[in-house]
Amino acid sequence: MSALPTKLETLAVHGGKPVREKLLPYGRQSLDDADIQSVVEVLKSDWLTTGPKIAEFEERFAAWVGARHAISFSSGTAALHGAAFAAGLAPGDEAITTPMTFCATANCILYQGATPVFADVSPDTLNLDPAQVSRKINARTKAIFAVDYAGHPAALDELSQLAKAQVPRAFLIEDASHAVGAEYGGKRVGGIADMTIFSFHPVKHLTTGEGGMVTTNDAQLAEILRRFRNHGISSEARQRQEAGQWFYEMVLLGFNYRLTDIACALGLSQLEKLDANLARRREIAVQYTAAFRELPVLCPAVREGVNPAWHLYPIRLRLEMLATGRAEIFRALRAENIGVNVHYVPVHQHPYYRERFKSEERYPVAEDAYERLISLPMFHGMTDRDVDDAVHAVQKVVRHYSR
């Protein structure tokens, strides 16, 4: 681990030598020969889609997260849409969610014709603040979509109590796209909320290229989700082929949101490495937190009883102690070839949301955080050298601008 540089180095943005020659991305997948072999086997088999790898991946994933049912989808976004449908969201309904997320979390509420209602986040975790949710919840609230921001589980107990106290009862839907393997109260997320959503995009802990999953302990919800992702049809092609039957019925309006056997074979192989991937991300988070202790930045908080999964490592700049803003620091880090990013532009600030809802409402915690956030590289394939480079660059740049 590099120590704090003793004298100020010239920043790359000012013509100095960059910390790295080649860009270190903020996230990327790691694939090995076993992953490739697993996919090749499916490519040589009879079933590229709707075949046996799907149930195998779903069963193994459900067991790994500790849920009774897992239903695969073609993306995390499709999985969110499935959950919004299964919760029965319809025009006239409201669903409460966080502005500090990728727009897909709120968009799935709109797909169902329902209204997203934003509630501000807690200053420590940037997760949905239950006190703000309780101000927004009412008889029209059908669901709360909580997000495990950066991989830190949301306040699931408090949010679940709020959802259950509602008449009629609202659903707690956890968008754990960042949080596969995160623990809450000693349990992995996946079987805690009414439905939990995962994403298998390449920057995540486990990838299928594109892909997603909904997990639930509720057999009825699982059945609706299975039909929804297959056009609303009550049986699957392979079941019909094996039973020698042609007849099928479409019983609800669904979509083709199926994940292929090709993708599920990759998922099965990636699942083998999930524990190791999580361990590596946790190790990197510890190193970052230790390295930035003396700098005017706020590292991500970890609440008691929680073990985050560290999809992201977002620092917040203490702008009061810096001579410049986030944009300049971001630019300087990129010039050092550190692939920093920002998560997220608060959803209500996107032009589509501003124009559609014309709301004047402010979310001070999320909005203030947005001005300060920078996500550092965080992926399980990072070498010690990569971590050192990221640490070195942050120290170099932030010290340069410290007052």
Ligand X SMILES: Cc1ncc(COP(=O)(O)O)c(C=O)c1O
Active-site residue set: 204
With CB under 6 A as the contact rule, the residue among 29, 122, 166, 199 that binds ligand X is 199
CB of 38 or CB of 127, closer to ligand X:
127
Return the number of the residue (76 or 254) whose C-beta is nearest ligand X.
76
Residues of span 356-385 touching ligand X by CB under 6 A = none
Pick from 148, 179, 207, 270: which is nearest to 28 by CA?
207
CB-based contacts of 158, cutoff 8 Å, min separation 6: 130
Determine, following the binding rule CB under 6 A, whether residue 101 of this chain makes contact with ligand X: yes
Question: Which region, judged by CB under 6 A, interacts with ligand X, from 73-81, 123-131, 290-298, 390-398?
Answer: 73-81
The residue type at 152:
H
The correct pick among 85, 102, 228, 330 for binding ligand X (CB under 6 A) is: 102
What would the x/- binding string for ligand X be over residues 142 to 181, using CB under 6 A? -----x---------------------------x-xx---
Outline where 216-363 has alpha helix (H): 219-228, 237-243, 261-271, 274-291, 326-335, 351-357
Name which of 105 and 375 has its Cβ closer to ligand X.
105
Alpha-carbon distances, residue 48 vs 42, 254, 263, 270, 323 (angstroms): 6, 21, 9, 18, 56
Contacts with ligand X by CB under 6 A: the residue count is: 15
To ligand X, the closest distance from the beta carbon of 401 in angstroms equals 29
Burial of 255 (0-12, 13-18, 19+ CB in 10 A): middle
12/369 with CB nearer ligand X:
369
Q: Is the peptide bond before 344 cis (omega within 30 degrees of 0)?
A: yes
Q: Pick the closer one to ligand X by CB: 329 or 347.
A: 347
Given candidates 53, 69, 142, 201, which one binds ligand X under the rule CB under 6 A?
Answer: 201
Burial of 60 (0-12, 13-18, 19+ CB in 10 A): middle
- Regarding 104 and contact with ligand X (CB under 6 A), the answer is yes
Residues counted in the chain: 403
Backbone phi and psi for residue 198, each to the nearest 5 degrees, phi listed first: -125, 155
Residues near ligand X (CB under 6 A) are 75-77, 80, 101-102, 104-105, 147, 175, 177-178, 199, 201, 212
